[in-house]
Structure formats: structure tokens, C-alpha cells
Structure 1
């Protein structure tokens, strides 16, 4: 794998609350749908092309991925739903990412807090951009997006080995 591989980790957009206790069924609010479209527009404007998208199977992450993909248009692949990403801890999320085929040059992962923030802090190498690391460490709001440059194989990604280049919120 060359230095040109990218990993983007996205926290789902703002979701509403359920009264029946079914957390996985929570849906995006109107504001959340707008947040997800904004992320998609920003990615499209940056020239992002999603080779592969991994997404938690919760409704709010699926809806986030749909809106992002809608804005990316033909530059989006079909999201792969993985139940292991639902409320996953950083180690579980990383093991799912490690399974990514080496032919994938750009990977987008859509998942949940606190796992997304903890995983991003774990991955950020010492040569990461300082301001995005500080911003991400302080707050990882809904629709927050961390963008990493990855220089090794997906299967070997473990910790402190991806360079954080941007954090959007």
C-alpha cells in the first residue's frame, strides 16, 4: 500500500431519541440529515472517491451513509453494513478495518461514539497535524469526520500508524 491510501472515520449525524428503548432503530433528525448532506458535499468538493464504505447496521448510521453517498453521487460505493460496528469499542472497529482488501485506496467508516473518537486517538501518529488532533481530542460531535493518510497495509493498521490530516465538525 502506498502513502496515498485514505481512511475516513465518520460519527453518524444527529439522531433523535426513541421511547421504546430500541437504540439501533433511532433515526436522524432533520438537522442530522442536513449534517450528513453537508459532509457529503464537503467530501465531494475535496475530490473524495469512496472505494469502500463500512457502516454500522444501526438506522442512524445507515441514514448518514445514504445522505453522504447521495451527495457523492457516482463517487460513492454501496455501503457494506457490518453489525460489529454497532456501538463497537476501538479494538473491534480496528479489526473490521483490518479486513479491508488491499485494493481499497479510500475507506470510509460510519460508526458511533465513543468508539470513533477513541479509535481516532489510537490511530493518530506522532506526525499528525497538531490542530486537528487537539480539536478531535476535545470534542467529536455528531457528523464529525477524521481523515487519515495510511502508509501501510490495512491488515497491519494498529495504533499510532495513520497520519491525521484533517478533522471536520
Structure 2
């Protein structure tokens, strides 16, 4: 059994609703609905008292915009987000490699990314002691602005599979 003080927290957020203008996929911005709804993810975190120490976001326009809305809601407690091009169009193994590089002093990490890897990461990480309802909801449907929260025992470097307890799956809107 892991001591509660050793637990880290991982937040995984799918970007808000994107628009479909005639631009390359990487450059797609949030739709009006995405801009209206994205702040709700940050408000939910504040309501839960969850403040990331670090935020790593895909460098795509829609993920950067979603992250901006979230950090606006987090206010003075928001960290400066780090843009990582490896999170765009990434296989879940690459996403895990990014997480595995995180420094151990980071207690709460937030990732902002895309389908399909956000859902695949949830499926891969959810341990048997996860909240069953949260896992089922996430597995059946992972809409835009879907957000998972995990308790992570041990080191970021060793996070791999079935070793994080999913405590929440929410779609704040």
C-alpha cells in the first residue's frame, strides 16, 4: 500500500470542440463552442482544489487555446505550460515517454491532447482499483473537453500500464 503523501496526480484533458476551417489539421482552432466551454475545465479543477504543478500540451492550435482557457481559470496558481510537439498525432507509447521524463518534484501533472491517445492512455493506465464508473464512461465515449484524473503511486519514470487509479472522468461544460 502506498502512503497517500507519495501519491502524484495526473490530469489528462482532451481539447475543446474544434472548428473545421480550410487549414492543416495542426492549425485548426477551437470552434466558438470550444472557446465558450473550455474555461469550464479550469473551473472544475479549481472547484476540486486541483492545481497542476506542470502542464504539457500538444503544440496544435486547439490544444494551446484550450490550455490558455484553463490557465486563465487557474489564475495565479497556474504554471507556465510547456508545448511538446511529440503530443500531436502521437501513439500512446510516445505520450507515456513524455510523462516518464517528468521531474519527480512535479506532484500534479496535466496533459492536454487529442484523440485517440487521450482515451488510449486512460485504457492503458487505469488500474483495477480505479473508479469503475469513471473508467466505463471514459471507455464508452471520450468527447471534447473530457478529462481524467489519476492517482499515481511511485515515480513518473515508472508509469506504464494498469498502475494509476482513475478517480474521475468528467466532461465539464
Q: One fold, TM greater than 0.5? A: yes
Residue among 95, 102, 107 paired with 1:100: 102
Which residue of 2 is the match for residue 79 of structure 1?
81
Residue among 10, 14, 17 paired with 1:7: 10
Which residue of 2 is the match for residue 70 of structure 1?
72
Provide the C-alpha distance between the structure 1 equivalents of 2:33 and 2:41, rounded to a whole number of angstroms: 12
Provide the C-alpha distance between the structure 2 equivalents of 1:33 and 1:40, rounded to a whole number of angstroms: 12
Which residue of 1 is the match for residue 134 of structure 2?
132
Task: Give, in angstroms, the shift of residue 18 of structure 1.
Answer: 2.5
Which residue of 2 is the match for residue 30 of structure 1?
32
- Return structure 1 stretches of 4+ with deviation > 2 angstroms: 1-4
Pairwise CA RMSD: 1.1
Q: Deviations over 1:16-49 (max 9, x none)?
A: 01313x1111001121012210011111111111
**Which consecutive unaligned segments of at least 5 residues does structure 1 have?**
none
Which residue of 2 is the match for residue 90 of structure 1?
92
Provide the C-alpha distance between the structure 2 equivalents of 1:59 and 1:137, rounded to a whole number of angstroms: 26
**Which consecutive unaligned segments of at least 5 residues does structure 2 have?**
none
Residue among 105, 115, 118 paired with 1:116: 118
